[in-house]
A = this chain, B = another copy of it.
Amino acid sequence: MDYQLSEIVFFHRKKSGLTRNQLADLAGVGKTVVYDIEKGKETIRFSTLLKVLKALNVKITFTSPLMRVFNEKS
């Protein structure tokens, strides 16, 4: 699923100089989660993924042909 999620997490964790346990603690999740994500597992909870990405300062954005229309409203 080419979202390279595992690579992104690994890359950011390494650049942050964190071990998996440290990242897990920082994100407030179990250590198994970080292990699983970097292993390529995608059947994790979205909320759990958000915690990890937040700890790594990675933002999620949604894009689509319609998103411009979406952003112009509100």
Q: Are A59 and B50 closer than 8 Å at their CB atoms?
A: no
Chain copies in complex: 2
Chain B residue contacts of A67, Cβ below 8 A: 8, 58
Contacts of A66 in B (CB 8 A): 11-12, 15, 57
Task: Digitize A43-64: 1 where CB-to-B-CB distance is under 8 Å, 0 elsewhere.
Answer: 1111101100100111111111
Query: With a CB–CB cut-off of 8 A, which chain B residues contact A17?
Result: none
A contact set with B: CB distance below 8 Å: 1, 3, 5, 7-8, 11-12, 15, 42-47, 49-50, 53, 56-67, 69-70
Which 6 residue pairs are nearest across A and B when measured between Cβ atoms?
A42-B47, A58-B64, A59-B63, A43-B47, A46-B46, A11-B70
